[in-house]
Amino acid sequence: MASVSVHQFAPCITCHAWSPDQSMIAFCPNNNEVHIYKMLEGKWEKIHVLHKHDQIVSGIDWSRRTDQIVTVSHDRNSYVWSQEASEWVPTLVILRLNRAALCVQWSPKENKFAVGSGAKTVCVCYYEQENNWWVSKIIRKRHDSSVTSIAWHPNNILLATTSTDGKCRVFSTFIKGVDTKHTSSGSDSKFGEQIMQLDLSHSWTFGIRWSPSGNTLAYAGHDSMIYFVEEIGPSPSAQSVAFRDLPLRDVLFLSERMVIGVGYDCNPMVFTADERGLWSFLRFLDERKQTSNAKYDSQLSGTFGKLYGQSKSGSNESNESSRIRAHDNCITSVVPLKKTRDATVTTFTTAGLDGKVVTWDLQKQQDLMEYLQG
């Protein structure tokens, strides 16, 4: 079994993030709080509750080096929390948003973070030492609809976004005074400059990520497709992989050649690239029993003979019960847990609407190990 541990933290989890030493987990239990749990003596204990937002917290990220947590919420606010003594102290970030914030991520150097919002804008925030607060610069007028997901390139300058208008865009977020000028990135060093726009999907797009080297981009479309883009620039080359199952919500690069997609199937999907660089769907990560594939026919005949006055929230599923999956409901986020020296991820966690956080370890999966080396 690829899943190492399953733990039910809350009825429903919106988003989650791990501390730098992987001992603590911060997540939002589908309300306006952030709960931080720590593993003490083999049991998860709630050690902190961060209570500052008015509406549901839609994004959490925990920085590795500076040990700060950034949270964004549907109430248009964002806070950066730092640990002082044993308390978490919030610092308000002036985002200047007039709609909900949907996603957040620290940049690789952790001197900036980006926020995607329902105001069709992306805010890039940096710390101003003189005034002792976080200031944001906004990328406006580029998106036609809500920005659902963002991802930083390893060079700390390029930012990729996905939106409900179906397009994927890459911007430069060079800020004078914060970023050092890179000769390799060329002359596109203006803040908010759009490097690339891709219109591959007919439906909403979510879950964008860069590969560890920054050469490949992957994102998921709601039309049950996953897109892989290479050669980011004026003429990118893209591959679209369609799959039979329900759409994905989030993706994660485990190595240059392996991607995990999670979504409405409640089961992580493994996509791999062969030697020629062609991506395809390999398999589901969670083993499934064969009997559950006998789907709808047996279900229908079973329920025909069933009771007439069924309870409102649904009938028994006793003839569909052979479904041993870690998650019961849609998986909303996937976060890496352990990285090897060459940035390959071997352990990661998924959290979903069922409130469970499942840890997956790929050390024992023989058929996947060859893709992890690549």
Pair 323, 233: CB distance under 8 Å? no
The amino acid sitting at 91 is: T
- Under the criterion CB under 8 A, does residue 161 sit at the interface with other proteins? no
- Under the criterion CB under 8 A, does residue 16 sit at the interface with other proteins? no
φ, ψ of residue 86 in degrees (nearest 5): -115, 15
- Under the criterion CB under 8 A, does residue 303 sit at the interface with other proteins? yes
Compute the distance between CA of residue 201 and CA of residue 242 in angstroms, rounded to an integer.
Answer: 11
Place of tokens 């909900």: 100
CA 183 to chain CA centroid, nearest Å: 31
Pair 115, 125: CB distance under 8 Å? yes
- Under the criterion CB under 8 A, does residue 337 sit at the interface with other proteins? no
Q: Are strands 205-210 and 279-284 parallel, antiparallel or unpaired?
A: unpaired
Selected from 247, 257, 267, 334, the binder of other proteins by CB under 8 A is 247
φ, ψ of residue 158 in degrees (nearest 5): -80, 140
Pair 361, 369: CB distance under 8 Å? no
CB of 44 to other proteins, least distance (A): 22
Around Cβ 144, how many Cβ atoms within 10 Å?
11
Compute the distance between CA of residue 94 and CA of residue 165 in angstroms, rounded to an integer.
Answer: 26
- Under the criterion CB under 8 A, does residue 246 sit at the interface with other proteins? yes
Rule CB under 8 A: which of 169-228 touch other proteins? 204, 222
- Under the criterion CB under 8 A, does residue 75 sit at the interface with other proteins? yes
| Cβ neighbours of residue 303 closer than 8 Å, sequence gap 6 or more | 315
Rule CB under 8 A: which of 109-148 touch other proteins? 118, 120, 144-146
Compute the distance between CA of residue 342 and CA of residue 49 in angstroms, rounded to an integer.
Answer: 35
Selected from 2, 226, 353, 368, the binder of other proteins by CB under 8 A is 353
Q: Site map for other proteins, 278-297, x if CB under 8 A?
A: ------------------x-
The amino acid sitting at 182 is: H
- Under the criterion CB under 8 A, does residue 9 sit at the interface with other proteins? no
Selected from 111, 320, 337, 339, the binder of other proteins by CB under 8 A is 320
Selected from 300, 318, 341, 366, the binder of other proteins by CB under 8 A is 300
User: Which residue's CB is nearer to other proteins, number 165 or number 361?
Assistant: 165
Stretch near other proteins under the rule CB under 8 A, chosen from 44-52, 62-70, 272-280, 328-336: 328-336
User: Which residue's CB is nearer to other proteins, number 155 or number 303?
Assistant: 303
User: Which residue's CB is nearer to other proteins, number 72 or number 157?
Assistant: 72
Give which of 162, 164, 124 is closest to 140, Cα–Cα: 124
Selected from 87, 231, 317, 342, the binder of other proteins by CB under 8 A is 317
**Can you give the binding site for other proteins, defined by CB under 8 A?**
11-12, 14, 30, 55-56, 58, 74-76, 98-100, 102, 118, 120, 144-146, 164-166, 204, 222, 246-247, 249, 263-264, 296, 299-300, 303-304, 308, 310, 312-315, 317, 320, 328-330, 332, 353
